Amino acid sequence: MNNGDLFFFVRYLANKSSFGGNIRVDDFARNLNIASIVLLKERLGITNDFQLGAPVSRKQKGTSFLLDDSTNIFKKKQTLSFSSGVATLPTDYFKFDAIRNTNALEDVEVLHAGELARRLNNAIDFPSVEYPMGEFIGNTFNIYPTGITGTTTLIYYRYPTAAVFDYYINADGEIVYLPEGAAAYTLQAGEVYSDGTTSGAKNTISVELNWGDESKIDIAWLVCKYMGMNLLRGDVFQASDRIETIGK
């Protein structure tokens, strides 16, 4: 299921819900990227579903192999380069998972500022080479002791790659998606490319979502939600099942 399939599925849902008219490609593309980030937040447990006495999301990473499998594509590992105990985070950094140092006996203990300040002044439970500590400040990570040696590795989740929806409009006024990696398409009489040109060969600039097909119905539901369609998540899954059944 590529971006084009999602676009036509959302357009189908819009008509079925009396949303009326067509969907602007720009609006769809914008909401597609918003939905991708929101779904990643949901799958990693950065949600608002916390309950009194249960300060852990029902979908927090590590609670289900199925959820973890769907987000592993966003998981990365990078060596941090420290100067006086301060390292700049990767530009695509989204959420922390773990920090490890080759000279430490355990992962670097990541603390909030107040707790770290207390531990730094603690004569017994202070950071050491074997048990280092640290905190995130802005786009940096500060590690203690500041002179720690060895290789420090950050395990983190990156931002989803921004999707791009490239297309042309055929002579009948229909939007035709140009998939990522497709061969160059030569415009025919009456056809208009996404940038407004009406002739020549066009190399697609489409970029597909990083998500697997099993997650794209969730993406479709979120896009519908942000475009003002009052649909339950189950409604969208039922519609997709119906389309698949009819297609077979």
pLDDT tens-digit readout, 193-241: 999 999 999 999 999 999 998 899 999 999 999 988 888 888 888 887 7
**CA distance linking residue 188 with residue 169, whole number of Å:** 10
Phi first, then psi: give them for residue 11, nearest 5 degrees: -65, -40
Region 83-107: mean pLDDT is 96
More confident residue, 214 or 80: 80
Q: Identify the pLDDT of residue 131.
A: 95
- pLDDT at 69 exceeding the cut of 50: yes
CA distance 169 to 163: 20
61 confidence band (pLDDT: 50, 70, 90) = low
pLDDT tier at 119, thresholds 50, 70, 90: very high
pLDDT over 90 for what percent of the chain? 69
Q: Is the Cβ–Cβ distance between 74 and 158 less than 8 Å?
A: yes
Least confident of 43-47, 81-85, 142-146: 43-47
| Residues above pLDDT 70, as percent of the chain | 86
* Residues 240, 232 contacting (CB under 8 angstroms): no
pLDDT at 55 over 70: no
Query: How far apart (Å, rounded) are the C-alpha atoms in residues 180 and 103?
Result: 44
pLDDT of residue 241: 73
The position carrying tokens 């249960």 is: 54
Looking at residues 70-93, what average pLDDT do you find? 95
Query: Which tokens sit at 31?
Result: 């909401």
Residues 56-82 have a mean pLDDT of 77
Contact by Cβ (8 Å): 91, 85: no
Residue 78: in which H helix or E strand, if any? strand 75-80
Place of tokens 């980030």: 37
**Residues facing residue 86 across a β-bridge:** 83, 142
**Residues counted in the chain:** 248
Q: Flag whether pLDDT at 88 surpasses 80.
A: yes
The distance from CA 136 to its chain's CA centroid, rounded to whole angstroms, is 21
In the chain, what is the straight-line distance between the N-terminal and C-terminal CA atoms, in Å? Answer: 16
Residues in CB range of 29: below 8 A, 6 or more apart? 163, 164, 165
| Mean pLDDT of all residues belonging to the chain | 88
pTM of structure: 0.83
Where exactly are the structural domains of the chain?
A: 3-46+161-247, 74-158
Judge whether residue 17 has pLDDT over 70. no
Q: How confident is the model at residue 248 (pLDDT cuts 50, 70, 90)?
A: very low
Per-residue H/E/C for 227-242: CCCCCCHHHHHHHHHH
Q: Which pLDDT does position 236 carry in this prediction?
A: 85
